[in-house]
Each structure stands twice: as structure tokens, then as C-alpha cells.
Structure 1
Amino acid sequence: MTSDHSDNWDLHTPEVQAMMGVFALHWQLEQRLNDARLGEQLGRMECHLLLLLVRPCRMGELARLTMKAPSAVTAGAGALERQGLIRRVRDADDGRAWLLELTQNGHARRRQLVADASEVFYETSGLTREEARILAGLAQKIHNKAVQSGAVGPCEGDQT
């Protein structure tokens, strides 16, 4: 009998196996993305906002999607705005509200960030593109449930 940790995998329930896999992937991605310095000159929140801004979006919606306090999104948006990666524009549907949208430099930075993060994801996870597509669907369901329940993630600098 080998000392391979997978020998004990079947002793755990599917729920524990899923949690172990999610935790391991999270920890590995967190470390690899930090090591790769994908967000050079950008903090974690700024990288998260860049990844989410595929279309103009209100800061309240970004706070909900990132599961962060609005103040964390405001600070991240300010940093991205100072770097010329986003701009604030009035919401055409509600002139009182502001939207964040990527600038031309922001779109270029986002494309590079997505490409680099995708490469790290596949190297770290060992998943195929089809497996990643399946995981993405499951992760969306999990994320939606967490957002609906009002979950709030840790802020930059919080102990995890």
C-alpha cells in the first residue's frame, strides 16, 4: 500500500471531498497568483474589479458580486481611476447613479490579466477546458447562493 493521500479520499463524504478540493484550489491559486504578480501595481481588490468589469457596472453591484463592503470597492475603484484604467460615467437609466467602465488602457490590462490568470488556473487545477466549463457552472451556482444569503468576504488585510 502506498502513502498516497488519495488512498484516504474515498473515506470522506462527497461534501468533505468537495470542500477539500475547493480549499486546496483556492490556496494554490491565491499563492500562485500572488507569486506571478499578475496584479503588479494593483491590489487584490483592484484585480478583482478589473476581472469583473466586462461591462459598465454600478459600485453597489460590484460590492455585491465581490462580497465586499462598498467602502472596499470605492477604494479599489479610486486606485484604478488614478491609474487611468477605469472612469466613472453617469448611468443613462438613472442620472443620479454612477457606473464604472474600463478605459482603453483598462480593457488592455484586463485582457492581459484574464490571459495570465487563465494560464495559472489551468496549470494549478490540472483541469481540461471542458472540466473548467463544468466547474464554472457549479461555481456560479455556489456564488449566487452566497450572494443571495448576504455573505461578505474578508477585506484586504483581514486575517483569513
Structure 2
Amino acid sequence: MTTEHSDIWELYTPEVQAMMGVFALHWQLEQRLNDVCLEGQLGRSEHQLLLILARPRRMGELARLTRKTPSAMTAAAAVLEQLGLIHRVRDPGDGRAWLLELTNEGRKRREQLVDAASGIFYETSGLTRDEAEILARLAQKIHNKAVQSGAVGPCEGDQT
């Protein structure tokens, strides 16, 4: 880092520095992950659903986790279901409800996606594994607080 560059950062409070870093990382990750999405038959919503579907989950829970509308989750789930990557199973705790669950092919596809996304994350962020673990704990705290506070996701407001 050049002296000139570090002097610029010193003009900002830690809070503004953190926001600038989060925004820059978000923009870069979104662009790089979109490039990966465009190479295959799945869109961004389908990729996001695959990433977070590590265990069977209800549709409403998935919508809350992704900050997407239930209808957007339903559309993404329909695509994944048509491709044989997920299927619906009854919730053992509530026989009226359905859970989305990965198929064997879906688990393989998710593993490939996690590997690709992890590589992109490290290339983009420049973080070490230890630093990524620290960021993950902080990001989880931020995410939980934002969800608890009723943060509005992009698809509920802006159509980005």
C-alpha cells in the first residue's frame, strides 16, 4: 500500500472505512459471481439458493436468509427442481409444511459452486483463511442484526 493511499484512508472514521470495504467487496463479488452464473444454466437466484441449501429448509426461511421475496424463492426453486437439483419433502415437525432438499446431483453441484465461490472470495478479498473466519463471525453478527431490525432486501425494494 502506498503512503498516499494509506493517508486517504486516515481521513475516514473506522465506520466509514468498514462500509467502504464492505461495499467494494460486495460489488466485486457480485460481478465475479454473476460471471460464473452466466457461464451455466442457472441465474443468480438459483446459485444463491444452492449456496445456502446446506440442509433441508422451508421456503419462508430461505426467503428470509436471502433477503428475497417468497415469490422469487419459489421461482428459483422451480428451476432447480426442474433440473433435478432439489426436491420437496414433508417437514417431519409439521406434516403440512414442505422443505426443499438437495438431490445427490444437487449436492455435487452445490459443492462445485461452494468451491468456485470460495476461490473467488479469496481472490477478491485478499484475506487469509484466519481473516476470513474472523470476517465470517462479524458478518454473521451483522446479518443477524440486520434481519432482526427488519432490513429490506434488494428484491423487496430496488430491482438490482
Range class of TM-score, shorter chain: over 0.9
TM-score if structure 2 supplies the norm length?
0.93
The aligned counterpart of 2:115 is: 115
Retained in 1: the 8 A contact 2:37–2:43? no
Runs of 5+ consecutive residues of structure 2 not aligned to the other structure: none
- Which amino acid is the alignment partner of residue 76 of structure 2? G
Retained in 2: the 8 A contact 1:68–1:155? yes
- SS of residue paired to 1:155: helix
Retained in 1: the 8 A contact 2:25–2:124? yes
Q: How far is the alpha carbon of 1:109 from its aligned partner?
A: 0.2
The aligned counterpart of 1:47 is: 47
- Which amino acid is the alignment partner of residue 123 of structure 1? E
Higher relative contact order (CA 8 A, sep 6+): 1
Q: Which deviations, in whole Å up to 9, do the C-alpha atoms of 1:88-140 show, x marking residues without a partner?
A: 00001101000000000000000000000000100010000000000000000
- SS of residue paired to 2:10: helix
- Whole-angstrom distance in 1 between the partners of 2:28 and 2:128: 17
Retained in 2: the 8 A contact 1:39–1:47? no
Q: Does 1:57 align with 2:57?
A: yes
Retained in 1: the 8 A contact 2:29–2:124? yes
Runs of 5+ consecutive residues of structure 1 not aligned to the other structure: none
Equivalences, count: 158
- Which amino acid is the alignment partner of residue 17 of structure 2? Q
Which stretch of the first structure deviates more once superposed, 138-147 or 31-40? 31-40
Q: Which deviations, in whole Å up to 9, do the C-alpha atoms of 1:24-45 show, x marking residues without a partner?
A: 0001111112223477211111
- Whole-angstrom distance in 2 between the partners of 1:137 and 1:121: 16
Q: Does 1:17 align with 2:4?
A: no
